């Protein structure tokens, strides 16, 4: 059966200009990959310039009784992209809010002990903050619908680092060659969620949804190429009363040796299983059934789309095209202990994206 060694987290991810590759339990103090010497293998270039090629993002996925959703903060140095998207599980109705920001050097923090990331623009506010000494992780957002028919939504999501279901993993992988790297920190836990939907009709009272749920927080930093494509599937939920969270990806930034270096992971009932590399296909089209499988019998899934959210951006030197799809998973996953987890109709999300810089 596939295994990947989980090591102790290093003090720094870059030592003497070279990345420290591996899969690490817990977290480093900082998720910082600046300072790699000559990462693009051409004539020597000062690190102050090559550091500008590092792009960072935060991705927060959550599931509660009535809603499935994600939050993405993407920092491109010269500007940033922020997106909040929710789906009603019963009606498949989606609510999407997207904001473009100007340059902001502290858009996504490095510190994994105590920090925050916030956005306030165009009557839209988002803040993700954490403090390990005080034992809290908090997400708060308010997105105004403006002149559209979309409602104004507010959300508050909380988790505690001391929760028995809370677990984490850090992956530092070549991207795709050994001279460059991609660092991903993942944190999964049960959460307390509260959402409020306010109609544009002032005579209608806000609709409030409140329940427990599960969530996955990811922070990534990568030395990106000019052309970047990828596919990503994730789910947050419960199987047999136990929290199950997984994320599986396949991108153009993947390491050459994906058996040794990849960021696929399964969190189940408070334990962590590094997953094997997988192949993600959709032979009948992006909006039809997806197939996710590996060669180690750890991953055998199908994803059935229900609602597709397409976003495009053409801004100066940037072009993006993204499919964010809500749907359901069916199949099996295997833990590192050999336990097979089978499920049907597990709500989740998939993404297929293209980024050109």
Q: Rounded to 10 degrees, what is the CA torsion of 200, 206, 212, 215?
A: 20
**What is the residue range of 244's domain?**
6-356
Q: Is residue 22 in some structural domain? A: yes
Of residues 332 and 48, more confidence is placed in 332
**SS3 of residue 257 by DSSP:** coil
* pLDDT, tens digit (0-9, with 9 covering 90-100), for 222-253: 998 767 889 999 999 999 999 999 999 999 88
Contact 222, 54 (CB under 8 A): yes
| pLDDT for 34 beyond 90 | yes
Of residues 269 and 122, more confidence is placed in 269
The whole-number pLDDT of residue 315 equals: 66
The whole-number pLDDT of residue 52 equals: 85
Q: Is residue 203 in some structural domain? A: yes
Q: Is residue 1 in some structural domain? A: no
> Which range is most confident: 73-77, 135-139, 201-205?
135-139
Q: Is residue 121 in some structural domain? A: yes
Residue among 63, 198, 194, 60 nearest 127 (CA):
60
* pLDDT, tens digit (0-9, with 9 covering 90-100), for 141-184: 999 987 777 899 999 999 999 999 999 999 999 988 888 999 99
Q: Sorting pLDDT into bands at 50, 70 and 90, what band is 318?
A: low
Average the pLDDT over 54-76 and give the result: 94
The whole-number pLDDT of residue 199 equals: 80
| pLDDT for 69 beyond 70 | yes
Residue 162 class from Cβ within 10 Å (0-12 exposed, 13-18 middle, 19+ buried)? exposed
User: Quick one: DSSP state of residue 297?
Assistant: S
CB atoms near residue 8 (< 10 Å):
8
Choice among 23-37, 95-109, 122-136 with the minimum mean pLDDT: 95-109
When computed from its CA atoms, the radius of gyration of the chain, rounded to whole angstroms, is 20
Q: Compute the 3-state secondary structure of the chain and give helix, strand, coil in percent, each to the nearest 5.
A: 0, 60, 40
Q: Is residue 25 in some structural domain? A: yes
Average the pLDDT over 183-187 and give the result: 98
Q: How many domains does the chain have?
A: 1
Whole-prediction pTM value?
0.95
Q: Is residue 165 in some structural domain? A: yes
The whole-number pLDDT of residue 104 equals: 65
**SS3 of residue 47 by DSSP:** helix
Q: Is residue 234 in some structural domain? A: yes
Q: Which two tokens stand for residue 208?
A: 């409030």
Q: Sorting pLDDT into bands at 50, 70 and 90, what band is 105?
A: low
Contact 221, 36 (CB under 8 A): no
The whole-angstrom separation of Cα 201 and Cα 206 is 10
């Amino acid at each position: 059966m596939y295994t990947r060694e989980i090591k102790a987290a290093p003090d720094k991810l870059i030592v003497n200009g070279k990345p420290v590759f591996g899969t690490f339990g817990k977290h480093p103090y900082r998720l910082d990959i600046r300072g790699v010497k000559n990462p693009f293998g051409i004539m020597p270039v000062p690190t102050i310039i090559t550091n500008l090629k590092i792009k960072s993002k935060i991705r927060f996925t959550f599931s509660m009784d009535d809603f499935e959703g994600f939050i993405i903060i993407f920092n491109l140095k010269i500007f940033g992209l922020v997106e909040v998207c929710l789906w009603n599980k019963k009606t498949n109705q989606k609510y999407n809010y997207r904001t473009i920001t100007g340059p902001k050097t502290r858009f996504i923090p490095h510190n994994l002990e105590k920090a925050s990331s916030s956005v306030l623009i165009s009557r839209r506010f988002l803040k993700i903050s954490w403090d390990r000494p005080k034992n809290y992780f908090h997400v708060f957002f308010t997105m105004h619908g403006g002149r559209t028919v979309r409602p104004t939504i507010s959300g508050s999501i909380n988790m505690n680092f001391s929760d028995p279901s809370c677990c984490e993993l850090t992956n530092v992988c070549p991207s795709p060659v050994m001279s460059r790297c991609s660092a991903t920190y993942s944190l999964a836990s049960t959460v307390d969620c509260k959402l409020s939907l306010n109609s544009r009709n002032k005579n209608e009272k806000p609709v409030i949804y409140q329940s427990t749920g599960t969530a996955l927080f990811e922070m990534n930093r990568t030395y990106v190429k000019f052309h970047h494509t990828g596919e990503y599937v994730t789910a947050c939920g419960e199987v047999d009363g136990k929290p199950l969270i997984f994320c599986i990806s396949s991108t153009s930034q993947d390491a050459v040796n994906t058996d040794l270096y990849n960021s696929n992971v399964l969190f189940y009932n408070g334990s962590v299983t590094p997953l094997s590399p997988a192949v993600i296909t959709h032979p009948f089209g992006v909006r039809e059934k997806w197939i996710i499988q590996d060669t180690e019998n750890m991953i055998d899934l199908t994803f059935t789309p229900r609602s597709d959210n397409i976003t495009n951006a053409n801004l100066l030197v940037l072009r993006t095209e993204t499919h964010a799809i809500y749907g359901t998973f069916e199949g099996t996953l295997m833990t590192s202990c050999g336990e097979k987890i089978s499920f049907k109709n597990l709500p989740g999300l998939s993404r297929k994206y293209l980024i050109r810089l």
